[in-house]
Amino acid sequence: MNKVVMFSLLGLSLIHFRNSLAAAGQDDYIFDPALVREMMPGQIAMPDDTQDAWFQPGRYDVDLYLNGKFQQSTPVEIVRAGGPLSVCLPASFYHAFGVEAHYLTALNAKGCARPEALLTGASVNVKTGSLRVDVTIPQAMLVQRPVGYIAPENLTAGTTMAFVNYNLNQFYSDYKNAQRFESTYLGINSGINVGMWRFRQQGNFTHDDVGNRWQSARAWVQRALPSLRSEAGIGELFSNGDLFTAVSFNGISLDSDDRMLPDSVRGYAPLVRGVANSNARVTVWQGKQRIYQTTVPPGPFTINDLSPVSYGGDLSVEVQESDGSMHRFSVPYAVLPQSLRPGRTDYNFAAGKVRDYSKDNAFSELTVKRGLTNAITLNGGFRLGKGYHAMLAGGVWASELGALGFNSAYSDAVLNNGESTRGWRYALSYSRTFQPTNTTVTLAGYQYSTQGYRDLNDVITLNNAEIPGRNSITSEYMQRNRLQITLNQTLGPWGNIYVSGSKQNYYDGRSHAIQFQVGYGTVLLKNIALNISLSRQYSRRAVITEYAEETFYNDTQLQVSVSVPLGSDATSPYLALGGTRGSQNGSNYTASLSGLSGESGTSYSVNVNRDQQQRDTTLSGSLGKTFSEASVTGTASTSSRFNQMSVNAMGAAVIHSGGVTLGNYLGDTFALVEAKGARGARILNSQRSEIDRFGYALVPSLNPYHYNTISLGANGSDGHVEIQDSEKSIAPYAGAMVKVTFRTLRGYPLMLKTRTNHDATVPVGADLLDEAGNRVGTFGQGGNAYLRVAKTAGRLKAVWGDDAQSSCVIDYHIPPPKPDAIITYADAVCRF
């Protein structure tokens, strides 16, 4: 008989038998409906029964949901309240749910309370088969929170672990003029987490013709401070480069972290205020996209959690009243990087010593940004050093004409040679999307500095230079002005065109440079991509030596590329053809074929390049494969001038309480999955990660301050292991290393057909106990029982009552299963 049909009949029989007992008033045998659901998941529909008389109340690890939205996986106390199962939750859960404080006054003395007993209209549904608890609380009792909000109580700091990311590169090149070059590089990015503290270190080892060198790039400690929506750091850090230029330094920092905000309120968006005359539907549009819709009661309303679909384009608001009447108004929307929502404050503080310099390198700085209204964001700050101070103030004004930003900075510096210099820097920026033509000015900026203005980096460099004013100065040193602009124009189905350009000049006869680029891109029939760009660069550099000298660079380049998919599925190869024509370097032509090889995780490419100026043709190729433990790529190329080969390996090792687990290169926030015995089971959508022979796997990257769903598929795993959890959801802090455990049940899947030595059938509903007294199965009709056993032979006990005649012993033996068998069938005798 077909297995699905057999299990279906078994399930229907159990339902019928259970209902018959209920009708007859007999309570000798009570079944858990989840038994059949778990035997054939998704194939037999059984009614949920929250009464579940067999279920024992107690403390269980459950998935907790509020109004249909996942909250956290956590231990809770499951209780029975006059029949239905419920949960008794302490005050911390209700605070995390966002219940208004005045509803919780009765909770203080009780310690914990059932939601339905504490809050009028609340309800609880406990699903014992999946250990899921759904709590429903009327929306009016909850604090209004933005979409995507996650309570700090639901975030996880992860587990104490250590990790090492490595990037190993072996490079070899043989120049046919008898020169050779060979190098080995090993990059290390490592760290350890203890509670909320994150210790990180970066370094690299190099072996080449010069010798062996180890360099420790940086080491630092970080910690999230959720109550301040900030992150603190100590060690080798980088300052924020939003208002002042960034510096690398050794010291401390405290920065606002916008990742802690829900996506719906993270980026800039204006507040929408209006008035409704009735229960009205409010819809917000940006261009042709509906980005928000809600229902508001009569009176004034405010919408503060918009998520615009682009960085420009005014918002159109529609208010449809209950009687069908409608009124509309618009809200200007244009954004610059310094724009903040009304009421939001961001800050950045840093103090320490600038790296790579030995003297006059101490500094401190503080910058603050505050969103005042939809139209105005203000910013300001200061930066102090030895013999140096700078102040900055400005803001952003958003209007119907676009977003206009203005900043002014003043610096006063005294150099070691006694020179005193002071001056101003002024900066203007503009952003706007023009709706009728959908033309976007993504960034237009102009900056002017007086001759005496100095940046902190330049002052410290000059004070440490052997030849003052001539060593390692930055591009901003004595810069007079800079202009840059980028325009983007969409052409609908015809593609996209962009124009960008920049110009900068310096005092003291230094260089000036002009760059210009125009490009066009589109997708033709059959997903053929076409891109064309024309660029021009001109620069003049004055080299100050004993004899004045000027050098010029002037180049115009035309680039054309076409990408043609050679198939319709995701793994189809691509043929790419391209050419470059430059006034300095002549013409170059390339052709390449690249793609992925099915499900094997193998990537490949074959390339041909022709350099007309060198009159040389280069053939090259690469082959890469992603394993569950690492990624490996090899390259080779040859021409009339050289031969080249390289091998690159990237991966990671995580040290944890269960041992060492290997995997692909890790992001700063990742997960360690534990599923004992499920070797070969794959983590879905996670770079080919699969459970290793020790029962672990790595999820290389998680999105911090968001719920991340980790799913474990049974495909590829040992048929003797049953994975009892399908997925888990976690919301980690940034930098967390989270251990996620999936329950597994190991054993041989067995359908046991049993009769007693009195030639009778074991009663339906009898429990099967293993030699340790654990319940491993339940009998259905006809003496059939489905279970998993750890050994091919052993002893079981069938129990259906308390007296000696209500149990019997089964000595079972599993015959060798067929190679393709999912379940093994065996007959046995149950002896009294």
How far is Cα 613 from Cα 620, in angstroms, rounded to an integer? Answer: 19
* Share of the chain residues as helix, strand and coil, in percent rounded to the nearest 5: 10, 55, 35
Q: Is the pLDDT of residue 30 over 60?
A: no
pLDDT score at 426: 93
What are the tokens at 130? 């999946």
pLDDT, one tens digit per residue, over 479-514 is: 888 888 888 888 888 999 989 888 888 886 667 788
**Does any domain span residue 205?**
no
Identify the burial level of 215 via C-beta atoms within 10 angstroms of its C-beta, where 0-12 means exposed, 13-18 middle and 19 or more buried: exposed
DSSP for 742-808, please give it: --EEESEEEEEEEEETTS-BPPTT-EEE-TTS-EEEEE-GGGEEEEEESSSEEEEEEESSSSGGGEE
Q: Is the pLDDT of residue 23 over 70?
A: no
Answer with the residue of higher pLDDT: 511 or 237: 237
Could you say which of 97, 119, 143 is where a domain stops? 143
Please tell me whether residues 729 and 784 are part of one structural domain: no
pLDDT score at 473: 60
Answer with the residue of higher pLDDT: 473 or 601: 601
pLDDT, one tens digit per residue, over 397-427 is: 988 788 899 999 999 999 877 889 999 999 9
What are the tokens at 618? 């280069």
**Does any domain span residue 89?**
yes
Please tell me whether residues 496 and 580 are part of one structural domain: yes
**Does any domain span residue 167?**
no
Helix (H) or strand (E) holding 409: strand 402-414
Answer with the residue of higher pLDDT: 726 or 34: 726
**Does any domain span residue 590?**
no
Q: Is the pLDDT of residue 149 over 60?
A: yes
In one-letter notation, the amino acid at residue 233 is G
Please tell me whether residues 754 and 733 are part of one structural domain: no
Q: How far is CA 321 from the centre of its chain?
A: 40
* Residue 799's CATH number: 2.60.40.2070
Answer with the residue of higher pLDDT: 800 or 38: 800
Please tell me whether residues 787 and 709 are part of one structural domain: no
Q: What is the three-class DSSP state of 640?
A: coil
* Residue 316's CATH number: 2.60.40.3110
Please tell me whether residues 658 and 735 are part of one structural domain: yes
Please tell me whether residues 758 and 739 are part of one structural domain: no
Beta bridge partners of 92: none
* Averaged pLDDT, 767-791: 84
What pLDDT band is residue 34 in, cutting at 50, 70 and 90?
very low
Helix (H) or strand (E) holding 96: helix 91-97
- Cβ atoms within 10 Å, residue 217: 12
* Residue 707's CATH number: 2.60.40.2610
Range of the structural domain that residue 503 is part of:
491-584
- Cβ atoms within 10 Å, residue 176: 11
Could you say which of 534, 549, 584 is where a domain stops? 584
What pLDDT band is residue 110 in, cutting at 50, 70 and 90?
low
DSSP state of 102: G
Could you say which of 99, 119, 143 is where a domain stops? 143
pLDDT score at 15: 40
pLDDT, one tens digit per residue, over 170-224 is: 998 888 777 888 899 999 999 999 999 999 999 999 998 888 999 888 999 999 9
| 727-730 and 793-799 strand pairing | unpaired
Number of domains, the chain? 5
* Averaged pLDDT, 115-136: 88
Question: Token pair 């088969």 is at which residue?
Answer: 129
* Residue 126's CATH number: 3.10.20.410
Answer with the residue of higher pLDDT: 395 or 466: 395
Answer with the residue of higher pLDDT: 289 or 518: 518
In one-letter notation, the amino acid at residue 243 is L
CA end-to-end span of the chain, whole Å?
31
**Does any domain span residue 324?**
yes
Q: Where are the beta strands (DSSP E) in 566-678?
A: 574-582, 586-597, 602-611, 616-626, 630-638, 642-656, 659-663, 670-674
Q: What is the mean pLDDT of the chain?
A: 83
| Sign of the CA dihedral running 491, 492, 494, 495 | positive
Please tell me whether residues 794 and 730 are part of one structural domain: no
Q: Is the pLDDT of residue 467 over 60?
A: no
What pLDDT band is residue 471 in, cutting at 50, 70 and 90?
very low
Helix (H) or strand (E) holding 9: helix 3-24
Are the C-beta atoms of residues 698 and 733 closer than 8 Å to each other? Answer: no
pLDDT, one tens digit per residue, over 612-661 is: 888 888 899 999 998 888 999 999 999 888 889 999 999 999 999 999 99
Our CA angle for 628, 630, 634, nearest 5°, is 125
How would you classify residue 735: left for phi > 0, otherwise alpha for psi between -120 and 50, otherwise beta? left
Q: Is the pLDDT of residue 814 over 50?
A: yes
What are the tokens at 137? 């609380």
Please tell me whether residues 323 and 279 are part of one structural domain: yes
pLDDT score at 531: 92
pLDDT score at 308: 62
pLDDT score at 36: 46
How far is Cα 654 from Cα 165, in angstroms, rounded to an integer? Answer: 9
**Does any domain span residue 504?**
yes
From residue 701, give the alpha-carbon distance in Å to each of 199, 518, 712.
Answer: 18, 37, 16
pLDDT score at 209: 82
pLDDT score at 46: 38
Answer with the residue of higher pLDDT: 566 or 30: 566
pLDDT, one tens digit per residue, over 51-102 is: 556 677 888 888 899 888 888 888 899 998 777 899 999 988 998 888 988 8
What are the tokens at 209? 């013709």
Nearest in space to 14 (alpha carbons), one of 779, 702, 757 = 779
Q: Is the pLDDT of residue 688 over 70?
A: yes
Tell me the longest C-alpha to C-alpha distance in the chain: 116
**Does any domain span residue 412?**
no
Please tell me whether residues 697 and 757 are part of one structural domain: no
**Does any domain span residue 285?**
yes
Please tell me whether residues 756 and 823 are part of one structural domain: yes
Please tell me whether residues 753 and 732 are part of one structural domain: no
What pLDDT band is residue 472 in, cutting at 50, 70 and 90?
low
Please tell me whether residues 668 and 727 are part of one structural domain: yes
